[in-house]
Amino acid sequence: MIDPAQAAKARPSWDDYFINIAFTVAERSTCDRAHVGAVIVRDRRILTTGYNGAPAGLPHCDEIGHLMVDGHCVRTLHAEQNAIIQAALHGVNIAGSTIYVTHQPCLTCAKMIINAGIRRVVYAGNYPDEYSRQFFHQAEVALEHLPRKRHADTVYQPGRANALPSNEEES
């Protein structure tokens, strides 16, 4: 007989469910400096998704290399930006939503998330940005870390060619 408590434990929470989808979305990323995925959700419904990559129709990093400025690849739109833009493109209201992101949003994405009316940010891996934390705090957007043990977790390290799979933060 299946122990109901055991069965409930095996079933992912809604937060786990959506962050897992964000990791799947991240697999479409075309900039290997960090494979980032984002999923915007309201009332347990996925509204839009995004991953980091070049603007539509332009060549991608994995085709022609990165476009480096000050230690950052500037060729790409970030995953969060693409998820918000997709909402604009398709006329989807994302006010009051939650965004699930594989990494902590950068400051630019944080500002866009705040003005898009997103009220909660759940992230897994790291991308330590103190200013984005401060901005979310001041705008009263909830920022929640959901630690992961997946191979696909990446730790963003500026200046490194690749974001390497790592579980360091949990050890």
Q: Which is nearer to Zn ion, 35 or 78 (CB)?
A: 78
Query: Which is the catalytic residue, given 80, 140, 169, 170?
Result: 80
Per CB under 5 A, the segment of 7-15, 72-80, 96-104, 152-160 that binds Zn ion is: 72-80
Of the candidates 28, 42, 66, 133, which one interacts with Zn ion according to CB under 5 A?
66
Per CB under 5 A, the segment of 70-78, 87-95, 143-151, 162-170 that binds Zn ion is: 70-78
**Within 7-46, which residues bind Zn ion (CB under 5 A)?**
31
CA distances from 47 to 38, 115, 135 (A): 11, 17, 24
**DSSP annotation string for 128-171:** --HHHHHHHHHTT-EEEE-----TT-BB--TT-SSPPB--GGG-
**6-41 burial string, b = 16+ CB within 10 Å, else e?**
eeeeeeeeebeebbbbbbebbeebbbebbbbbbbbb
Q: How many residues at the interface with Zn ion, by CB under 5 A?
A: 8
DSSP conformation class of 53: B
Q: Which is nearer to Zn ion, 115 or 149 (CB)?
A: 115
**Within 75-134, which residues bind Zn ion (CB under 5 A)?**
75, 78, 106, 109
**Interface ranges with Zn ion (CB under 5 A):** 31, 61, 66, 73, 75, 78, 106, 109
